[in-house]
Amino acid sequence: MKKAVLYINQFFAGVGGETEADFEPEIREGLVGPALELDKQLQNAEVTHTVICGDNFIGSNQEEAVKRILEGLEGIEFDIFFAGPAFQAGRYGSACGFICRAVREKFGVETVSSMHVENPGVLMFKKELYIAEGGHIAAKMRKDIKKMANIGDKLLAGETMLRAEAEEFFPRGIRHQFWPEEAKPAAIRAVEMLKKKLAGEEYQTELPIPKSDRVEIAKPVVDLSKARIALMNTGGIVPVDNPDKIQSASATRWGKYDISGMDHLESGVFKTIHAGFDPAAADADPNVIMPIDVMRAFEKEGKIGELYKDFYSTVGTGTTEAEARRMAQEIVVHMKEAQVDAVLMVST
Amino acid sequence: MVKEVEKAGFPVVILCNLIPVARSVGANKIVPTISIPYPLGDPATSKEEQYKLRRHRVEVALDALTEDIKEQTVFKVKI
């Protein structure tokens, strides 16, 4: 029987939530959390070990975490490596990607993960590993693991992978020789496509061009000492009563909060409502996310012209790209009216 | 979000911990922070040290606003 190893975060290992997110990497023999289901679903291998690491630990000490995990894996025999599923959790998704990349490079085994399409890990790693198209929340665990296991079984058996869409993983940008069932030469297929295009009918290109979504770099600030600077954050810093009722996760609302006359953000007056990390530090001192104190100092010293009287807040965890875009567009309207010159965004 | 802000013409710098994520989604000016729960001040250090670190990183970000960069840039921080 071939062997598999699964990487999961501290939450799914049952170690704890955000307060334990600094959990240092550990390799346990046997099945922990999602490893049980993966082992059940996987036909061509058994899961022998579970790697566990806190999302914050690997987020802030990526090289160290990867190094320790690779060292730990050295004595273990395995034929395939899994990570996740990571759903829409950005930190978890990128952690899965970094580990899979390193394991693949060092041990030469295939790696499989699962993420929701909006997980930034997809964009970062889809070319390097098999990322099954996953659900956005942990309720989709069983389905996501099934997909990971299916891909894993095929890889272990050395079977030919069909197109990414058919296997339900994100296209890796790799082209394979492929013999279409009807065995039509390319020229004929191309002319058929062209005829459909001319007739305004739907057709399926054989070579989709990935969309690139870069934004032109804005013109720099000429004179900081005259500039009005606004602060934004996705760390959920709000007045303690959260007047705009911004959601703690999957936010669809944002707020702007007046800081006129304040030389720092006072604990007990402001706090974070972000559900994606341990709030203790930011509640004790909200300036660690919204640095009003140092901005005021720079304003007094004349380094900047003015700190704009409102700062903008929302919560970034689980928030879809579409919602983030809409909220930013709404904020932009306000900033234009307020004649803001430049913006600093603090993201957690 | 920063992309929408920049699209609207505002110079913008993102201060964040997950640099690879900011890179891949296409933020143009990036300044690293020290962690997710406390981007600009480690509660395990003294208030003075936290302030010093915060002041330094915000200053790097402010200066980055004035930089005429031609491609995506992660600005270096000293503390």
Task: Choose the closest CB to A342 out of B12, B39, B70.
Answer: B12
Report the gap between the CA of A60 and the closest CA in chain B (Å).
6
* pLDDT attached to residue A39: 97
Report the distance separating Cα A79 and Cα A144, nearest Å.
21
Q: Is A322 domain-assigned?
A: yes
Report the gap between the CA of B78 and the closest CA in chain A (Å).
16
If one counts the domains in chain A, the total is 2
Q: Is A180 domain-assigned?
A: no
pLDDT-based confidence at A18, cuts 50/70/90?
A: confident
Q: Is A90 domain-assigned?
A: yes
B7-60 per-position pLDDT tens digit: 999 999 999 999 988 998 889 999 999 999 999 999 999 999 999 999 999 999
The complex scores an ipTM of 0.98
Domain of residue A230 covers 224-346
> In this structure, are A56 and A128 located in the same domain?
yes
Q: Is A213 domain-assigned?
A: no
Domain termination site, one of A167, A188, A206: A167
Collapsing DSSP states into helix, strand and coil, what is residue A346?
strand
CB A346 within 8 A of CB A290: yes
**Is residue A335's pLDDT more than 90?**
yes
> In this structure, are A269 and A157 located in the same domain?
no
Q: Is A105 domain-assigned?
A: yes
Q: Do A60 and B35 touch (CB under 8 A)?
A: yes
Report the distance separating Cα A53 and Cα A9, nearest Å.
5
Report the distance separating Cα A346 and Cα A338, nearest Å.
20
Q: Do A220 and B41 touch (CB under 8 A)?
A: no
Q: Collect all residues of chain B within an 8 Å Cβ-Cβ radius of residue A345.
A: 1-2, 5, 12-15
Q: Is A198 domain-assigned?
A: no
Q: Is A321 domain-assigned?
A: yes
Domain termination site, one of A126, A150, A167: A167
CATH number, domain of A13, equals 3.40.50.2300
Q: Collect all residues of chain A within an 8 Å Cβ-Cβ radius of residue B11.
A: 218-221, 341-343
* Beta strand segments in A10-137, E: 26-29, 45-53, 80-83, 110-115, 130-133
* pLDDT attached to residue A19: 86
> In this structure, are A45 and A127 located in the same domain?
yes
Q: Collect all residues of chain A within an 8 Å Cβ-Cβ radius of residue B55.
A: 294, 297
> In this structure, are A161 and A23 located in the same domain?
yes
* Beta strand segments in chain A, E: 2-9, 26-29, 45-53, 80-83, 110-115, 130-133, 228-233, 237-239, 255-258, 270-272, 306-307, 310-313, 342-346
Domain termination site, one of A136, A167, A198: A167
| Cβ neighbours, 10 Å, residue A140 | 17
Q: Do A94 and B18 touch (CB under 8 A)?
A: yes
> In this structure, are A154 and A299 located in the same domain?
no
Q: Collect all residues of chain B within an 8 Å Cβ-Cβ radius of residue A285.
A: 41, 43, 50
Task: Choose the closest CB to A215 out of B21, B26, B34.
Answer: B26
| Cβ neighbours, 10 Å, residue A23 | 20
Q: Is A213 on the interface with B (CB under 8 A)?
A: yes
Report the distance separating Cα A313 and Cα B50, nearest Å.
22
